[in-house]
Chains A and B, each alone.
Chain A
Amino acid sequence: GESVGLHLPTLSVQEGDNSIINCAYSNSASDYFIWYKQESGKGPQFIIDIRSNMDKRQGQRVTVLLNKTVKHLSLQIAATQPGDSAVYFCAENNDMRFGAGTRLTVKP
Chain B
Amino acid sequence: EAGVVQSPRYKIIEKKQPVAFWCNPISGHNTLYWYRQNLGQGPELLIRYENEEAVDDSQLPKDRFSAERLKGVDSTLKIQPAELGDSAVYLCASSSGGAQETQYFGPGTRLLVL
Which A residues have a C-beta under 8 Å from some C-beta of B? 4, 32, 34, 36, 41-46, 49, 89, 91, 93-101
Does A44 contact B105, Cβ atoms closer than 8 Å? yes
Chain B interface size, as a band, is 20 to 34
Partner-binding segment picked from B11-19, B40-48, B61-69, B70-78: B40-48
Is the beta-carbon distance between B100 and A43 smaller than 8 angstroms? no
In the complex, A107→B112 CA distance in Å?
32
> Min CB distance, A68 to chain B, in Å?
17
The reply to whether B99 and A96 contact each other, CB–CB distance below 8 Å, is yes
Enumerate the 4 nearest inter-chain pairs by beta-carbon distance, A residue then B residue, closest first.
A98-B42, A43-B105, A96-B45, A44-B105
Q: Which residues of chain A come closer than 8 Å to B104, judged between CB atoms? A: 46
Q: How far is the CA of A7 from the CA of B26 in the complex (A)?
A: 33
Known: A34-B102, A96-B48. A43 touches B41 (CB 8 A): no
What B residues does A98 contact at CB under 8 A? 42-44
Given A32-B100, A93-B99, A96-B99, A45-B105 contact (CB < 8 Å): yes
Whether B107 contacts A41 by the Cβ 8 Å rule is: yes
Alpha-carbon distance A91/B44, docked complex (angstroms):
11
Is the CB–CB distance between B91 and A43 below 8 Å? yes
Say how far A12's CB is from chain B's closest CB, in angstroms.
17
- The smallest beta-carbon distance between A21 and chain B, in angstroms, is 13
Determine if B40 and A43 form an interchain contact, defined as CB atoms under 8 angstroms apart: no
Assuming the contacts A93-B100, A96-B99, asked whether A43 and B44 have C-beta atoms less than 8 A apart, the reply is: no
CA distance A100 to B48 in the complex (A): 20
